[in-house]
Copies of this chain bind each other. A is one copy, B any other.
Amino acid sequence: MIQCAILGATGYTGIELAKILLRHPHVKLSCLTSRQDEPPELSLLIPEISKQTTLKLEKFNAAEVAKKSDIVFICLPHTEAMETAAHFYKAGKIVIDLSADFRLKDAKVYKEWYKHPHARKELLKEAVYGLPELNRRQIRSANLIANPGCYPTSAILGLLPLLSKNLIETRGIVIDSNSGVSGAGKKITASTFFGEVNENFKAYKVNAHQHMPEIQAALEEAAHGRVDFSFVPHLLPVHRGILSTIYAEKKKGVKKKEIFRAFEAAYGGEPFVRFKKDGEFPSLRDVQHTNFCDVGIAAEDSNGRVIVLSAIDNLLKGASGQAVQNMNIRCGFPEESGLVS
């Protein structure tokens, strides 16, 4: 059986990933590591685990990981993942990197947004951006998969059919996104303090979030040309989920019917995108604890706008669920393995 390691297993994405891999029918979770000297007991991190589990969280040791794994999931913070990913990639493992380190093709853009030079530039072109709905074919043979960010997943899936079918203007797009607090990870800071978040709502990094170049690259790939958009993320007083409300201008003459058909064509066969009927819209509730992206559209022939609502669970389709979906594609497993009941 294929063996999987998770590096950085104590964060939210590592924990979600471990939960999925433990119930996955085709792989074995064989190794969980932490950068802490004395990693906590696994049952503290994953209370769902039964008393019988014997798997232990270990301090990271590259040789041990290599010995125990065929696939290495990297749940380290960006800038800390690149060397580790490169190491296991060169050691012949399949590497699925949940950090941002291999998502951008241009090392200069990386440095500009992440304030850190990229130490493994030579691998940027090797990495495949792991959004199955965009790159399923390339993922099938990729050994270095850059798992997409949470905001980008929700934004790109909301716009892909519109841009690839040339249905909207590529200027003036608005992506208004709203995320639960788990998107910020387990860092204990003033902005994740209960007294700050509870009963509150606010924007942050207004039109300046580091996920913008990642969104831009994917949108421009779909549009085969320049795309100009605004992006404002907001912090919701909930634990998990992202809902993006996206506004665009229809190209002249584009009808509502064409828009709905484009989404149906793009997503009808997708196992993890659910396209809503006319008049229905997604909510966080419907996608929490699932790997689905729910998409709903408001478009009328009487005006020039199209509005797309797109919802995901930021820890699943926006991180660990999508990572497993990528693994399933890469390994030839049914794409839903481990991800549906």
Contact = CB atoms under 8 A, between A and B. Distances in A.
B285 A199 contact: yes
Given A48-B289, A307-B206, A176 B245 contact: yes
Given A50-B336, A249-B172, A181 B206 contact: no
B234 A237 contact: no
Contacts of A190: 188
A288 B199 contact: yes
Given A193-B192, A232-B307, A281-B202, A298 B49 contact: no
Interface string A199-242: 11111101100000000000000000000101010101111010
A22 interface: yes
A23 interface: yes
Interface of A: 19, 22-23, 47-52, 172, 174, 176, 178, 181-182, 186, 188-190, 192-204, 206-207, 228, 230, 232, 234, 236-239, 241, 243, 245, 247, 249, 271, 274, 281-290, 292, 298, 300, 303-305, 307, 309, 311, 336, 340-341
Nearest to A289: B48
A36 B138 CA distance: 48
28 contacts: A22-B341, A48-B290, A49-B340, A50-B341, A51-B271, A52-B340, A172-B172, A172-B305, A176-B245, A178-B234, A181-B194, A182-B195, A192-B195, A194-B197, A194-B239, A195-B239, A196-B285, A198-B198, A198-B238, A202-B282, A203-B245, A203-B281, A203-B309, A207-B300, A230-B305, A230-B307, A232-B245, A237-B237
